[in-house]
Chain A
Amino acid sequence: MMASEFVALSLTPVLIAAFAGMACALPGNFLVLRKQALIGDAISHVMLPGIVVAYLISGRVTTWPMMFGAAGAAIVSVFLIEIIRRLGRIEFGAAMGVVFTAMFAAGVLLLEQSETSEVHLDVEHALFGNLEMLIWLQSDGWGSLLDLNALAQMPPQFFRMLTVFLLICLFTYIFWRPLVLISFDEAYARTIGTQAPLIGLLLVIFAAITAVAAFDAVGSIIVIAMILCPPASARLLTNNVRTQVFLSLGLALSATLAGYILASYAPLWLGFSDTVSAAGMISTLSGVFLAFSAVYGRHRKRIV
Chain B
Amino acid sequence: MSGITLVSNRGFTLEGQTGQDAPLNIRGMTVSYGQMPAVYSIDLKVKSGSIFGILGPNGAGKSTLLKAAMGILPVVSGQISFFGKPLKEARHQVAYVPQRTSVDWDFPATVYDVVIMGLYPSLGLLRRISKSDKAKVAESLSKVGMQDFSDRQIGQLSGGQQQRVFLARSLVQQADVFLLDEPFAGVDAATESAIMLVLQNLQAEQKTIVVVHHDLSTVTTYFDHLFLINRQSIAYGPVGEVFTKENLTKAYGGKLGSTQLGTIGL
The tally of residues in B whose CB lies under 8 Å from a CB in A reads 32
Tell me whether A185 and B125 are in contact (CB under 8 A): no
Across the interface, name the chain A residue whose C-beta is closest to B116. A177
Chain B positions within 8 Å of A265 at CB level: none
What are 28 A-B residue pairs whose CB atoms fall within 8 Å in the complex? A33-B107, A89-B33, A175-B125, A177-B125, A178-B120, A180-B113, A181-B117, A184-B103, A184-B104, A184-B107, A184-B117, A185-B103, A187-B98, A188-B98, A191-B70, A191-B72, A191-B96, A192-B91, A192-B121, A193-B91, A193-B121, A239-B108, A239-B153, A240-B108, A240-B109, A240-B110, A241-B108, A299-B108
Is A284 part of the contact surface with B, judged by Cβ < 8 Å? no
Q: How large is the interface on A (under 10, 10 to 19, 20 to 34, 35 or more residues)?
A: 20 to 34
Q: Which 7 A-B pairs have the closest CB atoms?
A: A191-B96, A191-B70, A239-B108, A184-B107, A187-B72, A185-B103, A193-B91
Q: Which of B33, B114, B118, B153 is A192 in contact with, Cβ under 8 Å?
A: B118
Across the interface, name the chain B residue whose C-beta is closest to A235. B108
**0/1 per residue, B126-148, Cβ < 8 Å to A?**
10000000000000000000000
Is B106 part of the contact surface with A, judged by Cβ < 8 Å? yes
Tell me whether B155 and A239 are in contact (CB under 8 A): yes
A191 to B102 alpha-carbon distance, docked (Å): 14
Is B67 part of the contact surface with A, judged by Cβ < 8 Å? yes
Across the interface, name the chain B residue whose C-beta is closest to A299. B108
Is A301 part of the contact surface with B, judged by Cβ < 8 Å? yes
Is B16 part of the contact surface with A, judged by Cβ < 8 Å? no
Q: Which of A89, A175, A180, A188 is B34 in contact with, Cβ under 8 Å?
A: A89
Chain A positions within 8 Å of B125 at CB level: 174-178
Is B71 part of the contact surface with A, judged by Cβ < 8 Å? yes
Chain A positions within 8 Å of B114 at CB level: 184
Is B76 part of the contact surface with A, judged by Cβ < 8 Å? no
Chain B positions within 8 Å of A192 at CB level: 91, 117-118, 120-121, 173
Chain A positions within 8 Å of B126 at CB level: 174
Is B4 part of the contact surface with A, judged by Cβ < 8 Å? no
Q: Which of B71, B98, B121 is A185 in contact with, Cβ under 8 Å?
A: B98
Q: Report which B residues bind A (CB closer than 8 A).
A: 33-34, 67, 70-72, 91, 94-96, 98, 102-104, 106-110, 113-114, 117-118, 120-121, 123, 125-126, 153, 155, 169, 173
Is A244 part of the contact surface with B, judged by Cβ < 8 Å? yes
A289 to B34 alpha-carbon distance, docked (Å): 44
Q: Which of A184, A187, A191, A193 is B109 in contact with, Cβ under 8 Å?
A: A184
Tell me whether B120 and A194 are in contact (CB under 8 A): yes
Is A183 part of the contact surface with B, judged by Cβ < 8 Å? yes
**0/1 per residue, A8-38, Cβ < 8 Å to B?**
0000000000000000000000000100000
A235 to B155 alpha-carbon distance, docked (Å): 13
Chain A positions within 8 Å of B70 at CB level: 190-191
A193 to B121 alpha-carbon distance, docked (Å): 7
Is A238 part of the contact surface with B, judged by Cβ < 8 Å? yes
Across the interface, name the chain B residue whose C-beta is closest to A234. B108
**0/1 per residue, A161-201, Cβ < 8 Å to B?**
00000000000001111101101110110111110000000
Chain A positions within 8 Å of B104 at CB level: 184
